[in-house]
Amino acid sequence: MKQLTVISGKGGTGKTVITASFASLAEKKVMADCDVDAADLHLLLHPKIRKTCEFRGGKKAVLNQQLCTNCGRCIEVCRFDAISENERRSPEESRTTIDPISCEGCGVCALICPVQAIQMQESLSGEWYISETEYGPMVHARLGIAEENSGKLVTVVRHNARLIAQEKDLDLVIVDGPPGIGCPVIASITGVDLVMAVTEPTISAISDLERVLSLARHFKIEPVVLINKYDINLENTKRIENFCERDGIEIVGKLPLDSAVTQAMVQGKTIIEYGASGLVTEIEDSWERISTKLKK
Protein backbone atom coordinates (compact mmCIF):
# COMPACT_ATOMS: atom_id res chain seq x y z
CA MET A 1 0.00 0.00 0.00
CA LYS A 2 1.25 3.50 -0.89
CA GLN A 3 0.62 6.80 0.83
CA LEU A 4 0.51 10.25 -0.76
CA THR A 5 0.22 13.47 1.28
CA VAL A 6 -0.79 16.77 -0.27
CA ILE A 7 0.62 19.79 1.56
CA SER A 8 1.40 23.39 0.69
CA GLY A 9 3.12 25.35 3.45
CA LYS A 10 0.98 28.37 2.68
CA GLY A 11 -2.77 27.96 3.09
CA GLY A 12 -5.23 28.67 0.30
CA THR A 13 -3.09 27.51 -2.62
CA GLY A 14 -5.72 24.94 -3.66
CA LYS A 15 -4.58 21.86 -1.75
CA THR A 16 -8.04 20.54 -0.89
CA VAL A 17 -9.61 21.33 -4.27
CA ILE A 18 -6.87 19.34 -6.01
CA THR A 19 -6.94 16.50 -3.46
CA ALA A 20 -10.70 16.16 -4.01
CA SER A 21 -10.15 15.96 -7.76
CA PHE A 22 -7.60 13.20 -7.23
CA ALA A 23 -10.22 11.36 -5.18
CA SER A 24 -12.42 11.15 -8.23
CA LEU A 25 -9.52 10.01 -10.45
CA ALA A 26 -7.65 7.53 -8.26
CA GLU A 27 -8.74 3.93 -8.03
CA LYS A 28 -8.83 1.66 -4.96
CA LYS A 29 -7.94 4.22 -2.30
CA VAL A 30 -8.87 5.66 1.08
CA MET A 31 -9.10 9.41 1.60
CA ALA A 32 -7.82 10.93 4.86
CA ASP A 33 -8.48 14.56 5.76
CA CYS A 34 -5.64 15.46 8.12
CA ASP A 35 -6.28 19.21 8.18
CA VAL A 36 -8.13 18.47 11.40
CA ASP A 37 -8.51 22.01 12.73
CA ALA A 38 -9.96 23.45 9.51
CA ALA A 39 -11.18 20.42 7.57
CA ASP A 40 -12.81 21.20 4.22
CA LEU A 41 -12.52 18.05 2.11
CA HIS A 42 -15.97 16.88 3.28
CA LEU A 43 -17.53 19.91 1.57
CA LEU A 44 -16.57 18.45 -1.82
CA LEU A 45 -16.76 14.70 -1.16
CA HIS A 46 -19.95 14.66 0.97
CA PRO A 47 -19.07 11.72 3.21
CA LYS A 48 -21.83 9.70 4.84
CA ILE A 49 -20.64 9.04 8.37
CA ARG A 50 -20.70 5.32 9.29
CA LYS A 51 -18.85 5.47 12.58
CA THR A 52 -18.09 8.31 15.02
CA CYS A 53 -15.32 7.96 17.62
CA GLU A 54 -14.26 10.17 20.48
CA PHE A 55 -10.81 11.68 20.57
CA ARG A 56 -9.32 12.37 23.97
CA GLY A 57 -6.13 14.34 23.76
CA GLY A 58 -4.50 15.99 26.72
CA LYS A 59 -5.53 16.86 30.23
CA LYS A 60 -6.04 20.22 31.93
CA ALA A 61 -5.33 21.27 35.50
CA VAL A 62 -8.43 22.07 37.56
CA LEU A 63 -8.13 23.78 40.95
CA ASN A 64 -10.35 22.98 43.90
CA GLN A 65 -10.85 26.39 45.45
CA GLN A 66 -11.95 24.93 48.79
CA LEU A 67 -8.71 23.03 49.35
CA CYS A 68 -6.30 25.67 48.02
CA THR A 69 -4.26 27.50 50.65
CA ASN A 70 -2.72 29.97 48.21
CA CYS A 71 0.78 28.85 49.06
CA GLY A 72 1.93 29.80 45.56
CA ARG A 73 4.00 26.69 44.84
CA CYS A 74 2.06 25.94 41.65
CA ILE A 75 2.63 29.47 40.37
CA GLU A 76 6.37 29.05 40.90
CA VAL A 77 6.59 25.75 39.01
CA CYS A 78 4.28 26.48 36.07
CA ARG A 79 6.40 27.24 33.00
CA PHE A 80 3.42 28.22 30.87
CA ASP A 81 2.23 31.30 32.77
CA ALA A 82 -1.08 29.49 33.28
CA ILE A 83 -1.46 30.04 37.03
CA SER A 84 -1.77 33.43 38.68
CA GLU A 85 -3.07 35.15 41.76
CA ASN A 86 -6.02 37.44 41.43
CA GLU A 87 -7.44 40.07 43.74
CA ARG A 88 -8.99 38.64 46.87
CA ARG A 89 -12.66 39.55 46.93
CA SER A 90 -13.19 38.13 50.43
CA PRO A 91 -10.70 36.60 52.87
CA GLU A 92 -12.14 33.10 52.32
CA GLU A 93 -11.97 33.25 48.58
CA SER A 94 -9.05 31.59 46.92
CA ARG A 95 -6.76 33.95 45.05
CA THR A 96 -5.11 31.36 42.85
CA THR A 97 -6.61 30.69 39.40
CA ILE A 98 -5.64 28.48 36.50
CA ASP A 99 -6.15 29.68 32.94
CA PRO A 100 -7.27 26.57 31.01
CA ILE A 101 -6.26 28.21 27.73
CA SER A 102 -2.61 28.59 28.77
CA CYS A 103 -2.47 25.23 30.60
CA GLU A 104 -0.22 22.81 28.72
CA GLY A 105 -1.42 19.78 30.71
CA CYS A 106 2.00 18.85 32.08
CA GLY A 107 0.56 18.14 35.54
CA VAL A 108 3.55 19.47 37.48
CA CYS A 109 1.31 21.76 39.55
CA ALA A 110 -0.89 18.82 40.58
CA LEU A 111 2.17 16.78 41.60
CA ILE A 112 3.71 19.60 43.61
CA CYS A 113 0.58 20.89 45.41
CA PRO A 114 1.04 20.17 49.13
CA VAL A 115 -2.72 19.84 49.77
CA GLN A 116 -3.71 18.01 46.57
CA ALA A 117 -5.98 20.84 45.48
CA ILE A 118 -5.25 20.36 41.77
CA GLN A 119 -6.67 17.53 39.66
CA MET A 120 -5.74 16.73 36.07
CA GLN A 121 -8.95 16.25 34.10
CA GLU A 122 -9.22 14.65 30.71
CA SER A 123 -11.46 16.40 28.25
CA LEU A 124 -13.11 15.38 25.03
CA SER A 125 -10.83 17.04 22.46
CA GLY A 126 -12.62 16.11 19.28
CA GLU A 127 -14.19 13.41 17.15
CA TRP A 128 -13.08 11.38 14.20
CA TYR A 129 -15.19 9.61 11.63
CA ILE A 130 -15.12 6.70 9.26
CA SER A 131 -17.28 7.55 6.27
CA GLU A 132 -18.32 6.39 2.86
CA THR A 133 -18.13 8.66 -0.19
CA GLU A 134 -19.00 8.17 -3.81
CA TYR A 135 -15.29 7.60 -4.34
CA GLY A 136 -14.66 5.13 -1.54
CA PRO A 137 -13.94 5.26 2.18
CA MET A 138 -12.82 8.43 3.92
CA VAL A 139 -11.46 9.06 7.41
CA HIS A 140 -11.79 12.58 8.78
CA ALA A 141 -12.01 14.43 12.06
CA ARG A 142 -13.09 17.49 13.89
CA LEU A 143 -10.87 18.94 16.58
CA GLY A 144 -12.84 20.53 19.42
CA ILE A 145 -12.90 24.32 19.51
CA ALA A 146 -9.70 25.72 21.06
CA GLU A 147 -8.43 22.19 21.72
CA GLU A 148 -4.87 20.99 21.50
CA ASN A 149 -3.11 17.90 20.21
CA SER A 150 -3.96 18.24 16.54
CA GLY A 151 -0.83 16.19 15.77
CA LYS A 152 -2.14 13.25 17.81
CA LEU A 153 -5.52 13.44 16.05
CA VAL A 154 -3.76 13.43 12.66
CA THR A 155 -1.95 10.26 13.71
CA VAL A 156 -5.27 8.64 14.69
CA VAL A 157 -6.86 9.57 11.33
CA ARG A 158 -3.91 8.25 9.34
CA HIS A 159 -3.70 5.05 11.35
CA ASN A 160 -7.36 4.26 10.73
CA ALA A 161 -7.12 5.12 7.04
CA ARG A 162 -4.29 2.58 6.74
CA LEU A 163 -6.29 -0.05 8.60
CA ILE A 164 -9.21 0.38 6.22
CA ALA A 165 -6.89 0.14 3.22
CA GLN A 166 -5.48 -3.13 4.56
CA GLU A 167 -8.89 -4.52 5.41
CA LYS A 168 -10.40 -3.74 2.04
CA ASP A 169 -7.25 -4.50 0.11
CA LEU A 170 -6.88 -1.00 -1.30
CA ASP A 171 -3.62 0.24 -2.82
CA LEU A 172 -3.45 3.84 -1.75
CA VAL A 173 -4.09 6.36 1.04
CA ILE A 174 -4.42 9.98 -0.10
CA VAL A 175 -3.89 12.44 2.75
CA ASP A 176 -5.05 16.06 2.63
CA GLY A 177 -2.54 17.76 4.90
CA PRO A 178 -2.68 20.98 6.92
CA PRO A 179 -0.82 24.21 6.11
CA GLY A 180 2.45 25.10 7.83
CA ILE A 181 5.44 22.96 8.78
CA GLY A 182 4.76 22.22 12.46
CA CYS A 183 3.38 19.35 14.51
CA PRO A 184 0.26 18.34 12.48
CA VAL A 185 2.18 18.63 9.19
CA ILE A 186 4.98 16.44 10.48
CA ALA A 187 2.37 13.93 11.68
CA SER A 188 0.78 14.03 8.19
CA ILE A 189 3.94 13.25 6.24
CA THR A 190 6.06 10.92 8.36
CA GLY A 191 6.45 7.57 6.63
CA VAL A 192 4.55 8.42 3.43
CA ASP A 193 5.84 7.47 -0.01
CA LEU A 194 5.35 10.77 -1.75
CA VAL A 195 4.54 14.37 -0.82
CA MET A 196 2.90 16.70 -3.31
CA ALA A 197 3.37 20.39 -2.49
CA VAL A 198 0.77 22.67 -4.08
CA THR A 199 2.10 26.16 -4.60
CA GLU A 200 1.32 29.37 -6.47
CA PRO A 201 3.68 31.90 -8.05
CA THR A 202 3.58 34.47 -5.23
CA ILE A 203 6.60 35.45 -3.16
CA SER A 204 4.83 34.28 0.02
CA ALA A 205 3.96 30.88 -1.42
CA ILE A 206 7.45 30.40 -2.84
CA SER A 207 9.02 31.19 0.53
CA ASP A 208 6.63 28.69 2.18
CA LEU A 209 7.28 26.11 -0.54
CA GLU A 210 11.02 26.25 0.13
CA ARG A 211 10.31 25.50 3.79
CA VAL A 212 7.99 22.53 3.12
CA LEU A 213 10.42 21.08 0.60
CA SER A 214 13.18 21.30 3.24
CA LEU A 215 10.81 19.60 5.65
CA ALA A 216 10.19 16.73 3.22
CA ARG A 217 13.94 16.41 2.71
CA HIS A 218 14.45 16.46 6.49
CA PHE A 219 12.19 13.41 6.78
CA LYS A 220 13.70 11.86 3.63
CA ILE A 221 10.45 11.84 1.66
CA GLU A 222 10.44 12.56 -2.05
CA PRO A 223 8.46 15.70 -2.92
CA VAL A 224 6.81 16.69 -6.21
CA VAL A 225 5.37 20.14 -6.93
CA LEU A 226 2.15 21.33 -8.55
CA ILE A 227 1.93 25.03 -9.50
CA ASN A 228 -1.59 26.40 -9.17
CA LYS A 229 -2.69 29.75 -10.70
CA TYR A 230 0.61 29.70 -12.60
CA ASP A 231 -0.46 32.52 -14.94
CA ILE A 232 -0.82 35.07 -12.13
CA ASN A 233 2.92 35.76 -12.30
CA LEU A 234 4.86 34.02 -15.07
CA GLU A 235 8.18 35.32 -13.83
CA ASN A 236 7.66 33.72 -10.42
CA THR A 237 6.44 30.51 -12.09
CA LYS A 238 9.75 30.42 -13.95
CA ARG A 239 11.57 30.89 -10.63
CA ILE A 240 9.76 27.87 -9.15
CA GLU A 241 10.53 25.80 -12.26
CA ASN A 242 14.18 26.79 -12.09
CA PHE A 243 14.76 25.87 -8.50
CA CYS A 244 12.80 22.63 -8.85
CA GLU A 245 14.97 21.71 -11.81
CA ARG A 246 18.10 22.61 -9.86
CA ASP A 247 17.02 20.38 -6.95
CA GLY A 248 15.75 17.56 -9.15
CA ILE A 249 12.12 17.97 -8.06
CA GLU A 250 9.48 16.98 -10.62
CA ILE A 251 6.73 19.47 -11.42
CA VAL A 252 3.66 17.32 -11.99
CA GLY A 253 1.40 20.05 -13.31
CA LYS A 254 0.61 23.72 -13.88
CA LEU A 255 -2.96 24.93 -13.49
CA PRO A 256 -4.20 28.33 -14.68
CA LEU A 257 -6.22 30.72 -12.50
CA ASP A 258 -9.83 29.87 -13.29
CA SER A 259 -13.03 31.17 -11.70
CA ALA A 260 -14.51 27.70 -12.30
CA VAL A 261 -12.69 26.60 -9.12
CA THR A 262 -14.92 28.86 -7.01
CA GLN A 263 -18.04 27.95 -9.01
CA ALA A 264 -17.40 24.24 -8.51
CA MET A 265 -16.80 24.77 -4.78
CA VAL A 266 -20.04 26.73 -4.40
CA GLN A 267 -21.86 23.78 -5.98
CA GLY A 268 -20.01 21.36 -3.70
CA LYS A 269 -18.39 19.58 -6.64
CA THR A 270 -14.87 18.52 -7.49
CA ILE A 271 -13.33 20.15 -10.57
CA ILE A 272 -13.67 16.83 -12.41
CA GLU A 273 -17.41 16.61 -11.63
CA TYR A 274 -17.94 20.26 -12.52
CA GLY A 275 -16.09 19.68 -15.76
CA ALA A 276 -14.07 22.87 -16.17
CA SER A 277 -12.48 22.00 -19.51
CA GLY A 278 -9.09 23.72 -19.20
CA LEU A 279 -8.43 22.38 -15.73
CA VAL A 280 -9.70 18.80 -16.06
CA THR A 281 -7.13 17.67 -18.63
CA GLU A 282 -4.28 19.24 -16.71
CA ILE A 283 -5.40 17.63 -13.42
CA GLU A 284 -5.81 14.25 -15.15
CA ASP A 285 -2.29 14.54 -16.55
CA SER A 286 -0.91 15.50 -13.13
CA TRP A 287 -2.63 12.53 -11.56
CA GLU A 288 -1.24 10.26 -14.26
CA ARG A 289 2.30 11.44 -13.45
CA ILE A 290 1.81 10.94 -9.74
CA SER A 291 0.28 7.51 -10.03
CA THR A 292 3.12 6.40 -12.31
CA LYS A 293 5.56 7.62 -9.67
CA LEU A 294 3.69 5.80 -6.91
CA LYS A 295 3.67 2.54 -8.85
CA LYS A 296 7.46 2.54 -9.19
The residue (of 96 and 149) whose beta carbon lies closer to other proteins is 149
Among 33, 37, 176, 282, indicate the residue that binds other proteins (CB under 8 A): 37
Q: Please name which of 50, 198, 242 lies closest in space to residue 137, comparing C-alpha atoms.
A: 50
In SS3 terms, 130-156 reads as: EEEECCEEEEEEEECCCCCCHHHHHHH
Give how many residues touch other proteins by CB under 8 A: 67
Question: What one-letter code names the amino acid at 168?
Answer: K
Residue range at the interface with other proteins (CB under 8 A); choices 37-45, 167-175, 246-254, 272-280:
37-45
Half-sphere exposure of 16 (CA within 13 A, CB side): 23
Element holding 42 (H helix, E strand): helix 42-45
Task: Kindly state whether residue 176 participates in binding other proteins, applying the rule CB under 8 A.
Answer: no
Question: What one-letter code names the amino acid at 236?
Answer: N
The residue (of 16 and 160) whose beta carbon lies closer to other proteins is 16
State the Cα–Cα distance between residues 124 and 139, nearest whole angstrom: 19
Element holding 109 (H helix, E strand): helix 108-112
State the Cα–Cα distance between residues 42 and 14, nearest whole angstrom: 15
Structure letter (DSSP) for residue 162: H
Task: Kindly state whether residue 124 participates in binding other proteins, applying the rule CB under 8 A.
Answer: no
Q: How far is CA 136 from CA 42, 122, 208, 285, in A?
A: 13, 34, 32, 22
Q: For the CB of residue 5, give the shortest distance to other proteins in the complex, in Å.
A: 16
Among 185, 225, 240, 271, indicate the residue that binds other proteins (CB under 8 A): 185
Task: Kindly state whether residue 43 participates in binding other proteins, applying the rule CB under 8 A.
Answer: yes
Task: Kindly state whether residue 215 participates in binding other proteins, applying the rule CB under 8 A.
Answer: yes
The residue (of 239 and 293) whose beta carbon lies closer to other proteins is 239
Q: Which of residues 69-108 bind other proteins (CB under 8 A)?
A: 77, 79-81, 101-102, 104-108
Among 49, 111, 115, 124, indicate the residue that binds other proteins (CB under 8 A): 111
Where along the sequence are the contacts to other proteins (CB under 8 A)? 8-13, 16, 35-38, 40, 43, 58-59, 77, 79-81, 101-102, 104-108, 111-112, 120, 143, 145-151, 178-187, 200-204, 207-208, 211, 214-215, 218-219, 232-233, 236, 259, 262, 265-266, 268
